[in-house]
């Protein structure tokens, strides 16, 4: 089976930064951009140059710093936005202007106050101007999943005729379901793209917790670029999580024969760096990069993992850059985990000693949420581990 190449468009520095509490200083953006380049993303969306002087400087700085990755700047379908983005991107080794306009009737009526015909003209004019000012142009139809399909295809066709090389079909409000999103992508591919040298991109929000599932469904239906963020940060409930998307493809390659340029061992370092920059980390049970993603407390699980990690781990911690799995000792832990932890501390206890310690360990664990190494030392029958080892 031939593997399909998937481009990863990272918008941590743009959409991700729009999360409350996730603003980044210039040096922090540069540091994160360097890590994204080490990670192997194909495109870094570095900011919205017209939005603020700070965003403009950020795009300039990232364009100067990252020479192996395409650098994108976001802009509305407005000439002043496009010129500002072009100015910010002029030193990029490979530049992309990413321009967007809403296409759903609710946005046209209440936000843009434009007719459908006016929006088609706006899209075509903006893409044409952007094409004259960047190496490539991506066009996004904001709120695509709540747009009339015929009108959506009309706008996309106008963008392609004007020079767009990437068409983005955003689920801006996290509304769609995987099956209907796949149908939409297939429709755009059939009615707009055909055999043209134009890529379909997807940008999914996580309001219903479906951003990664929707992205994968879209790839299966014909999309070849996925827009995502480290730790899934972004507007409201966030964007599709880069690490979840990549590892879903890696672990289930039997069903998803896709490949990307991502170095998976850089996923955890990227997550940790971002957490250190913004004002909050990921929740402990976050898939792939959460503190508990490779932690096991239940005795049955601990026994299985100690016997063979594949019993309860579908990927190795090392594969995503986590140093090792974690056996958390608590009231649900079993004798195998307790014995293993004592061995790590230098104690070689026999079955009788473990049998004697275990009830006291469980009683202590009932009173404490976690049992730490100093607690185990206090419970040990012999305090000097080297004496036991001898």
What are the C-alpha distances in Å from 343 to residues 321, 334, 353? Answer: 25, 15, 13
Q: Please tell me the predicted confidence (pLDDT) of residue 293.
A: 80
* Model confidence pLDDT, tens digit, residues 259-302: 999 999 999 989 988 988 887 888 888 999 988 887 766 676 77
State the pLDDT at residue 254.
95
pLDDT at 12 over 70: yes
pLDDT computed for residue 325 by the predictor: 56
- Give tens-digit pLDDT for 34-87: 999 999 999 999 999 999 999 999 999 999 999 999 999 999 999 999 999 999
pLDDT at residue 387 in the model: 36
For residues 93 and 98, what is the distance between their CA atoms, to the nearest angstrom? 16
Q: What is the pLDDT of residue 56?
A: 97
Q: Across the chain, what does the average pLDDT equal?
A: 91
**Res. 193: pLDDT tops 90:** yes
**Residue 212: pLDDT over 60:** yes
Spans of all domains in the chain: 4-277, 295-389
Looking at residue 314, its pLDDT comes to 81
Per the CB < 8 A criterion, the answer to whether 297 and 328 are in contact is yes
Cβ atoms within 10 Å, residue 126: 26
Percent of the chain residues past pLDDT 90, beyond the cut: 72
Q: What is the pLDDT of residue 98?
A: 98
Query: What is the percent of the chain where pLDDT is above 70?
Result: 92
Among residues 217, 181, 185, 187, the alpha carbon closest in space to that of 201 is found at 185
Q: pLDDT band for 386, please (50, 70, 90 cuts).
A: very low
pLDDT digits (tens, 9 = 90+) for 195-205: 999 999 999 99
Are the C-beta atoms of residues 21 and 240 closer than 8 Å to each other? no
Position with higher pLDDT, 5 vs 325: 5
pLDDT tier, 384 (very low <50, low <70, confident <90, very high otherwise): very low
Long-range contacts: 188-194, Cβ < 8 Å, 24+?
Answer: 188/152, 188/153, 188/156, 188/222, 189/221, 189/222, 191/153, 192/153, 192/156, 192/157, 192/160, 192/167, 193/160, 193/167, 193/222
The answer regarding whether domain 4-277 maps to CATH 3.20.20.70 reads: yes
| Residue 383 pLDDT greater than 50, yes or no | no
**pLDDT score, position 345:** 64
DSSP state of 191: I
Flag whether pLDDT at 346 surpasses 60: yes
């Amino acid at each position: 089976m031939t593997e399909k190449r998937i481009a990863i468009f990272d918008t941590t520095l743009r959409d991700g930064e729009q999360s409350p509490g996730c603003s980044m200083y210039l040096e922090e953006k540069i540091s994160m951009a360097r890590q994204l380049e080490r990670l192997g993303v194909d495109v870094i969306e570095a900011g919205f140059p017209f939005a603020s002087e700070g965003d403009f400087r950020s795009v300039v700085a990232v364009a100067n710093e990252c020479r192996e990755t395409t650098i994108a700047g976001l802009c509305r379908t407005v000439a002043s936005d496009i010129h500002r983005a072009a100015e910010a991107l002029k030193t990029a080794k490979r530049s992309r202007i990413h321009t967007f306009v809403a296409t759903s009737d609710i946005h046209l009526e209440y936000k843009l106050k434009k007719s459908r015909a006016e929006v088609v003209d706006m899209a075509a004019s903006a893409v044409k101007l952007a094409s004259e000012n960047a190496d490539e142009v991506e066009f996004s139809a904001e709120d695509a999943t709540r747009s009339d399909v015929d009108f959506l295809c009309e706008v996309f066709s106008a963008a392609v005729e004007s020079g767009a090389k990437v068409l983005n079909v955003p689920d801006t409000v996290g509304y769609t379901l995987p099956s209907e999103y796949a149908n939409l992508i297939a429709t755009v591919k059939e009615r707009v793209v055909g055999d043209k040298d134009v890529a379909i991109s997807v940008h999914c929000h996580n309001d219903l917790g479906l951003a990664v599932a929707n992205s994968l469904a879209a790839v299966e239906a014909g999309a070849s670029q996925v827009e995502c963020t480290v730790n899934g940060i972004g507007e409201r409930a966030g964007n599709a999580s880069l690490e979840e998307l990549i590892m879903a493809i890696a672990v289930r390659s039997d069903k998803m024969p896709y490949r990307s340029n991502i170095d998976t061992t850089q996923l955890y370092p990227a997550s940790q760096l971002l957490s250190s920059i913004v004002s909050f980390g990921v929740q402990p049970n976050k898939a792939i990069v959460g503190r508990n993603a490779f932690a096991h407390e239940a005795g049955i699980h601990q026994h299985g993992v100690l016997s063979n990690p594949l019993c309860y781990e579908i990927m190795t911690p090392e594969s995503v850059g986590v140093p090792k799995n974690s056996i958390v000792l608590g009231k649900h832990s079993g004798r195998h985990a307790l014995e293993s932890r004592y061995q790590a501390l230098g104690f070689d206890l026999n079955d009788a000693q473990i049998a004697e310690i275990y009830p006291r360990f469980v009683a202590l664990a009932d009173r404490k949420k976690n049992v730490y190494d100093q607690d185990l030392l206090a419970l040990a029958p012999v305090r000097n581990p080297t004496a036991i080892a001898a």
